[in-house]
Structure 1
Amino acid sequence: MTEDDHGFIARRLLRGASSATLATAAEGQPFASLVTPAVLPDLTVLLLLSDLSEHTRHLKAEPRCSLLAQGVPENANPQTAPRVTITGLAEPAPAELKPRWLARHPYAAFYADFGDFRLWRIRPAAALLVAGFARATRLRQADLLPDAAAVAALAAAEAGIIGHVNEDHADALAAIATGLLGQQPGEWRMTGVDPDGCDLVAGEVVARLDWPAPVADAGGVRVELVAATRRAREMNRLNSEG
């Protein structure tokens, strides 16, 4: 990855966000609220929203919205935090996508089936990436979205990848979680994979492993997981010795 891969940088920020700020409007009055997104491989954003919330009432009347996700600041200045704002139209999403959202937010299982909660989705139309202080780049949809062929290839292979890794390489996932992602030991498993990385979960804790560059197929995922496992085991070895 180079600094010019703005779409990839933006996607990684969006996919890695456990929370984000949703901006809606009612009769011309802007309104911002905290939401918890989950991102599909094609970059569609899923939100589980209550019918009782202010932002849901806004979206039912005016589906145009934006979503802000941000990373960690480089220093004490909050303006150094990388962030991405996407714009798009919100619409109700099929209920069968809820397991995908819950895989990103397992702690929400106890309320996700409450009668007032519905799944919504936003398909990004454009974005503004701020990679740090005074580093802004506008992205068209074509520059933002992942390669469609890669999304399709991994969608076809995802169940096999997840089943194989969880059954045969749980030790590698545990090493990656502790050695590369700064997580505590646990029964780590993979819950999703996409062209930009994969999601790992242990109990209610979710961690994101980003690929260093987008991958195109299952072979690319295998290469990145093998490399990540080697780095993680070396990191764990050094930590145990130091």
Structure 2
Amino acid sequence: MESRKEIPQITPTDSHRRIVRRLVRSERSASLATTLSRGNQAIPYASVVTYATDERAAPILLLSSLADHTQALRDDPRACLLVSQVHGLPNPQTGPRVSLLGTMQKVERDDPRHPALQSHFLGRHPAASQYIGFGDFALWQMEVTEAHYVGGFARAVWLGNDWLSVAECASTIADGGMEVLQGFDQDQQSAIAYALVMTSGLDLSVEDSRWQVVAIDCDGVLLRDGEGGAAVPVWLPFAESVSSRQELAECLGSLAQQGQRIAVEQALNRT
């Protein structure tokens, strides 16, 4: 038998942790791997699911009790969620992806966490409001124990669960972030969203000025079409993560100035 080769391990850094959080927060769908029972055998089973994240960046899923992966999780809650940004790349293996390992826990409707988790999920998937109340659907949350991030060839690193936002900081921003935003007038709030959209490099389907901030976390904001269009909500990152209301206020103030400056420059270019 061929001997197993030792794989060089990269020591994770705060940069790796921030990249993983941003990757997980920015996506809306992933591949879920579970263990499916077939008679006296257990076989690997993968499926595509939609997900959202809580204030720490921990995944939240809405699953039907009729789905095979849900039945698999009842028997064995261990799971792996693969989140990637490889679509459209000539070589998908050069794109960033992360495998989140842990266990899935069903969140009952009378659980104190349920209202907040449901709000997080509907913020990312508004169309789910049509069926989230059905009896055969339930929220599940992943308790992540490890994460394996691959940023491209020879750029792989194992992390524990310390890539998640620190709970105290995460709850401070989640509970007070929108209150900080309300300290800015409507024009400034529009400028904040405008700056994030214009510097994102993304080709978004909604007119740039129509995006509105609807949720804030330690790493960025969730935007949606302010005119109620069908565009999918999008999460965009801050240049640097924030850990306090003061840092958030300073970040938003800088974005407001940047957005106003971009708008003026574009207006001048049109004249």
TM-score of the aligned structures, taking structure 1 as reference length: 0.87
Provide the C-alpha distance between the structure 2 equivalents of 1:113 and 1:124, rounded to a whole number of angstroms: 26
1:154 equivalent among 173, 186, 189: 173
CA displacement at 1:216 relative to structure 2: 0.9
Provide the C-alpha distance between the structure 2 equivalents of 1:231 and 1:163, rounded to a whole number of angstroms: 18
CA displacement at 1:239 relative to structure 2: 5.4
Q: Which structure 1 residue ranges, 4+ long, deviate > 6 Å from structure 2?
A: none
The structure whose Rg is larger is 2
- CA 1:25 to 1:165, structure 2 compared with 1: closer, same or farther past 3 Å? farther
Provide the C-alpha distance between the structure 2 equivalents of 1:74 and 1:221, rounded to a whole number of angstroms: 34
Quick check: 2:64–2:137 contact (8 Å CA) kept in 1?
yes
CA displacement at 1:235 relative to structure 2: 4.5
Match of 1:197 in 2: 220
Provide the C-alpha distance between the structure 2 equivalents of 1:151 and 1:91, rounded to a whole number of angstroms: 21
| CA root-mean-square deviation | 2.5
Match of 2:155 in 1: 135
Quick check: 2:194–2:211 contact (8 Å CA) kept in 1?
no
1:219 equivalent among 246, 250, 254: 246
**23-32 or 189-198, larger mean C-alpha shift:** 189-198
- CA 1:156 to 1:193, structure 2 compared with 1: closer, same or farther past 3 Å? same
- CA 1:13 to 1:174, structure 2 compared with 1: closer, same or farther past 3 Å? closer
**CA deviation string 1:129-158 (max 9, x = no partner):** 11122200000122x122233113213413
Match of 1:8 in 2: 18
**209-218 or 160-169, larger mean C-alpha shift:** 160-169
Provide the C-alpha distance between the structure 1 equivalents of 2:148 and 2:252, rounded to a whole number of angstroms: 30
- CA 1:158 to 1:174, structure 2 compared with 1: closer, same or farther past 3 Å? closer
Q: Is 2:199 aligned against 1:180?
A: yes
Quick check: 2:181–2:252 contact (8 Å CA) kept in 1?
no
Provide the C-alpha distance between the structure 2 equivalents of 1:227 and 1:163, rounded to a whole number of angstroms: 15
Provide the C-alpha distance between the structure 1 equivalents of 2:262 and 2:152, rounded to a whole number of angstroms: 28
Quick check: 1:196–1:214 contact (8 Å CA) kept in 2?
yes
Q: What SS is found at the alignment partner of 1:5?
A: helix
CA displacement at 1:217 relative to structure 2: 0.9
Provide the C-alpha distance between the structure 1 equivalents of 2:84 and 2:150, rounded to a whole number of angstroms: 9
Match of 1:208 in 2: 235
Provide the C-alpha distance between the structure 1 equivalents of 2:67 and 2:94, rounded to a whole number of angstroms: 32
Q: Which runs of 5+ in 2 are unaligned?
A: 1-12
TM-score of the aligned structures, taking structure 2 as reference length: 0.78
Q: Is 2:89 aligned against 1:71?
A: no
Provide the C-alpha distance between the structure 1 equivalents of 2:92 and 2:217, rounded to a whole number of angstroms: 29
Provide the C-alpha distance between the structure 2 equivalents of 1:168 and 1:218, rounded to a whole number of angstroms: 21
Q: What SS is found at the alignment partner of 2:233?
A: strand
Match of 1:228 in 2: 255
The one-letter code matched in structure 2 to 1:121 is Q
Provide the C-alpha distance between the structure 2 equivalents of 1:55 and 1:234, rounded to a whole number of angstroms: 49
Q: What SS is found at the alignment partner of 1:84?
A: strand
Q: Is 2:147 aligned against 1:122?
A: no
Q: What SS is found at the alignment partner of 1:52?
A: coil
Quick check: 1:166–1:189 contact (8 Å CA) kept in 2?
no
Quick check: 2:64–2:70 contact (8 Å CA) kept in 1?
yes
Provide the C-alpha distance between the structure 2 equivalents of 1:81 and 1:230, rounded to a whole number of angstroms: 33
Provide the C-alpha distance between the structure 2 equivalents of 1:51 and 1:212, rounded to a whole number of angstroms: 40
- CA 1:75 to 1:92, structure 2 compared with 1: closer, same or farther past 3 Å? closer
Alignment identity in percent? 32
